[in-house]
A and B are shown apart, each in its own frame.
Chain A
């Protein structure tokens, strides 16, 4: 299996621009998580989906952030407009199980976002 795939791996953009991060979970996994990692705040869960349905988006920082999962093999995280404080590494992770499960999560390689 190819593992969780994220694109792009690096993104540099200017403040005010729209940024779209993409994730392809492992085939057969029905839960998908978006995390943000910074030195100051550590590893934060932004949102997670189960069977393509958002279960918990309480970690989404503000309305500038939105996430979609149109099908079982694709998810996007969009930031519009982007701000310098959004600079971070964004990870996507997937796992099997129900929305109540705590199975092993498989992380993608991450997208390093820099907003100038």
Chain B
């Protein structure tokens, strides 16, 4: 089942912070985050594993709460380059090794 992302879209001014949430109705062992810029392919940001381990990329960090079956992506002091659509991916239920992606959160950072 597809993970649910919120919000659908967010508009930020440069330097502001934002949080993107990803939740699942099933137990999670890992959550994957990708970013897709307009007209380009998705690019990997990070993987979060069971245990609440936090990983970071530039000023983008994330957390994973397996009890709540959710992950949050934190955009801190946003830069223009952070604009794009962010997808979370979670392992499929019926087959190992594949991800099911959420609908995406569109982020627009303005000057």
Contacts and interface: CB of A to CB of B under 8 A. Distances in A.
A45 B44 contact: no
A: interface residue count bin: 20 to 34
B58 interface: no
Interface of B: 2, 30, 32, 34, 40-44, 47, 87, 91-92, 94-104
A60 B98 CA distance: 14
Contacts of B2: 42
B40 A109 contact: yes
Interface of A: 31, 33, 42-43, 45, 48, 50, 55-56, 58, 91, 97-102, 104-110
A91 B41 contact: yes
B97 A31 contact: yes
A98 B101 contact: no
